[in-house]
Structures are given as C-alpha cells and as structure tokens.
C-alpha cells in the first residue's frame, strides 16, 4: 500500500470538483465518504491510487474520488484493473462495481481476478437491482422480485456474492452496510491493508428502485435481531440483548438461546482458517431465517499474482542476465550471406 508521510490530508482532499450526481439518499454517497475517510486516515498517496469501475450508478464513483480513475465498460473493471496492476504493481488499485456489473455481465472477470489473488480491492455495491438502467432485477434480487422486467416476479434464483468469491478461492471477503458508518470504515480499512484480492460486499440502498430492501439490517430498533457481527476468535452472538447465538447442529447452523447453551457450543469465528467451509456456510445465511453476518468472513495469506509475475521475470534475469535483443534475434540457427 502506498502511503505518504503527509498527515494533513483529510477526507476532503479526496473529493474532486465534480458534482456528485447520485440520487438523494442513495447509499452510494455514504460509501464514497467512508472510503474517503479511510484513505485519508491511512495517509494514502493519492498519486499512486487508481479507482477503476465498470458501468452502473455505483461505477460513477471514480469521478468523485481525487485519485487516478478509470470509468470503463460494463462488467470489465476487474480485467482492466488487472492490466493496471500488472503494468505497475506499485499502484493501489481499487475496483468499484455493482451487483449487476460484477456478477452478471462481469461474473467471469470477477471469478478470475479472485482466483488469481491479484492485488485489487473490489468493492461491490449491492442494491439487488439494476439502478442505472432504471430498475430491472439483478443477480442478487430475491426470487419473486417484481420489477419492470419481472412484473410477475423474478424466476431467477439469486446468488450469494461472498459464497461465489469463496468458491473462487478469495483470500479476503467482507460485508458491511452503507449506513453503519463505523463498521463500514473498519471493513474498508481492513480491505485496504490486505495483500491480494480483497472483496467487500456493501449492502447499499437504492432509494429509487429498491428502497428499504435492507431496512431489516439498518433499522436501529430491530437490526441486531437480524445481523450478526463477525469478530475473529469470538463466538457468533447477536440479538438486541445479545441473547442469541449460532452453533452447529451436525453440519447445519442453528440459532440457539444463550440461556440454554454454554458459550463454548457456539461457532467461534476464525477468519484465517484454511478450510473455507464455515465461511461458505456463513456467506449463505439469509434473512429472515438467519441473521446475516457482517464483517470479515475470510482473511488469508497467499502468494499474490503480481509478485509471482514480477518474480518470474526477476528469476529469469538472475539466471540468464537481462535480455539482449542481439542475442534474441540470433537465437537458433543463423547463416551469413556475404
């Protein structure tokens, strides 16, 4: 991560002169500001930071962030960002994407960026709808969602983004909610510090086309009944009175009342365990049957693509010396004509 000793930067230094054009009340505003605060707090070197996005409301993001930026084409941001990272591994490269952008048209690029463990921080704004194209159902929309393109209810089954990322061997996966500012900052800061691909799913409210789709997770009165915070090494406890927990019943998760079980029976969160199965299970817990986990699902160390790429080049030079065109041209059989 590129940082400068300039500690005078504030989040305002990450704003551009462009007018932010998201709808009033859109969750995107909050995510932008939290990330600006995180970058300022980490004293990020703006000149060595690049934001790459696809297409969608969320993908307007780079215009509002005073770093280098590339607003690209629909679904392709991970591929474009991969090229940026390979060309200059010294840059901090962020990808901003939507649920349609990342998982529908860009699903393939998302999977492959993740499996390579290339140094990209992919922030997916999940509003479970296509915002920019005015409200069609997306790959994360609930089954039965009624939209302009699904007036009788969508017959597509939604995917769980984090379980997809885990299936593709993600080394860092986390989830946050747009209105839980402190926690969102915590998760983004963790992503910023990760080596390799970091994936953050942010539950983002689209006030216009999918308003209140996350009210169960944001309503101050009831949200603690519906979400569970993941903390490394701690048991999974939730509820307004922190009176409920999650434990395994055989292979299946179940909700238990703390009064009735010993805390030792609960699932202890381990973001570093090699076996992805518990993280995968957690990624599939859905409201209203279960509380949905927020926080860091997984944070692993694994060789990073750009290091391996540059390492192979360095190793070849160590062994054979720096490339010489003259020698390359004359490789193989040559002959002279006088």
Partner 1 sequence: MGTATGTDVHSDPPRATPIRELAQAAVRFAGDSGDGMQLAGSQFTATSAMFGNDIATFPDFPAEIRAPMGTLAGVSGFQINFASRRIFTPGDRVDVLVAMNPAALKVNLPDLVEGGVLIVNEDEFTPANLQRAQYDGNPLETDAFRNYQLYKIPVTTQTLGAVRETGLGQRDAGRCKNFYALGVLFWLFERQLEPTIRWINAKFGKAPAVAAANRLALEAGYNFGETTEIFGERFRVRPAQLEPGTYRNITGNQATALGIVTAGELAGKPVFYGSYPITPASEILHELSGMKTFDVRVFQAEDEIAAMCAVVGAAFAGALAVTGTSGPGMALKQEAIGLGVMTELPMLIVNVQRGGPSTGLPTKTEQSDLWQAILGRNGDCPLPVLAAQSPADCFWATIEAARIAVKYMTPVVLLTDGYLAQGSEPWRIPAPAELTPIPIQHATDPLTFKPFQRNEVGARPWAIPGTPNLRHRIGGLEKEDVTGNVCYVPENHQRMTLHRARKIAGIVRDVPDQEVYGEPEGDLLVVSWGGTFGAVRTAVERAREDGQVVSHAHIRWLHPFPQNLGTLLKRFRRILVCELNMGQLEFLLRGNFLVDTLGLHKVQGRPFRVSDIREHLDALLGGQAS
Ligand X SMILES: Cc1ncc(C[n+]2csc(CCOP(=O)(O)OP(=O)(O)O)c2C)c(N)n1
Q: Which region among 139-147, 182-190, 247-255, 324-332 touches partner 1 (by CB under 8 A)?
A: 324-332
Of the candidates 125, 162, 124, 154, the residue with the CA atom closest to the CA atom of residue 137:
154
Residue 151 or 321: which CB sits closer to partner 1? Answer: 321
How many residues make contact with ligand SF4 (CB under 6 A)? 11
86 binds ligand X (CB under 6 A): no
Which of partner 1, ligand X, ligand SF4, none does 100 bind, CB closer than 5 to 8 A by kind? Answer: ligand X
**Alpha-carbon span 306 to 299, nearest angstrom:** 18
**Alpha-carbon span 73 to 119, nearest angstrom:** 20
Residue 46 Cα distances to 11, 79, 94, 198, 277, angstroms: 11, 22, 12, 19, 38
3 binds partner 1 (CB under 8 A): no
Q: Which residues pair with residue 120 across a beta bridge?
A: 93
**Alpha-carbon span 57 to 213, nearest angstrom:** 17
Footprint on residues 267-326 left by ligand X (CB under 6 A): none
131 binds ligand X (CB under 6 A): yes
177 binds ligand SF4 (CB under 6 A): no
**Pairing of the two strands 244-249 and 237-238:** antiparallel
158 binds ligand X (CB under 6 A): no
**Alpha-carbon span 242 to 332, nearest angstrom:** 73
102 binds partner 1 (CB under 8 A): no
**Alpha-carbon span 336 to 132, nearest angstrom:** 64
User: Residues 47, 296, 202, 286: what is their CA dihedral angle, to the nearest 10 degrees?
Assistant: 170
130 binds ligand X (CB under 6 A): yes
Binding mask 30-59 toward partner 1 (x if CB under 8 A, else -) reads ----------------xxxxx-x--x----
Of the candidates 298, 295, 266, the residue with the CA atom closest to the CA atom of residue 279:
298
| Member of 9, 26, 202, 283 binding ligand SF4 (CB under 6 A) | 26
Which of ligand X, ligand SF4, partner 1, none does 34 bind, CB closer than 5 to 8 A by kind? Answer: none
| Member of 72, 127, 163, 197 binding ligand X (CB under 6 A) | 127
332 binds partner 1 (CB under 8 A): yes
Question: Contact residues for ligand X (CB under 6 A)?
Answer: 55-58, 74, 98-101, 125, 127, 129-133, 138
Question: Contact residues for ligand SF4 (CB under 6 A)?
Answer: 22-23, 26, 28, 57, 127, 131, 206-209
């Amino acid at each position: 991560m590129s940082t400068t000793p300039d500690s005078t930067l504030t989040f305002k230094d990450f704003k551009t002169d462009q007018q932010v054009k998201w709808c009033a009340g859109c969750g995107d505003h909050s995510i932008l500001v939290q990330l600006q605060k995180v970058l300022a707090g980490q004293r990020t070197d703006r000149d060595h930071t690049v934001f790459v996005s696809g297409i969608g409301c969320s993908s307007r993001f780079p215009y509002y962030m005073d770093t280098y930026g590339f607003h690209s084409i629909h679904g392709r941001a991970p591929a474009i960002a991969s090229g940026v990272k390979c060309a200059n591994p010294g840059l901090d490269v962020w990808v901003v994407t939507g649920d349609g952008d990342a998982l529908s048209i860009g699903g393939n690029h998302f999977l492959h960026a993740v499996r390579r463990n290339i140094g990209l921080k992919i922030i997916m704004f999940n509003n479970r709808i296509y915002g920019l194209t005015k409200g069609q159902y997306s790959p994360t929309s609930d089954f039965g969602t009624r939209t302009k393109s699904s007036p009788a209810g969508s017959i597509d089954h939604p995917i769980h983004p984090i379980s997809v990322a885990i299936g593709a061997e993600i080394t860092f996966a986390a989830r946050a909610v747009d209105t839980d500012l402190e926690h969102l900052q915590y998760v983004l800061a963790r992503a910023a510090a990760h080596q390799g691909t970091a994936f953050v799913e942010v539950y983002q409210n689209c006030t216009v086309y999918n308003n209140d789709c996350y009210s169960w997770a944001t309503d101050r009165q009831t949200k603690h009944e519906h979400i569970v915070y993941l903390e490394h090494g701690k048991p999974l406890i939730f509820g307004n009175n922190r009176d409920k927990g999650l434990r395994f019943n055989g292979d299946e998760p179940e909700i238990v009342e703390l009064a009735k079980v010993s805390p030792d029976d609960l699932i202890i969160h381990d973001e570093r365990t090699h076996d992805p199965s518990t993280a995968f299970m957690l990624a599939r817990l859905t409201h209203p049957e279960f509380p949905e986990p927020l926080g860091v699902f997984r944070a692993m160390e694994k060789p990073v693509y750009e290091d391996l790429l540059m390492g192979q080049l360095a190793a070849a030079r160590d062994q054979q010396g720096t490339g010489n065109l003259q020698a390359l041209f004359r490789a193989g059989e040559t002959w002279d004509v006088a």
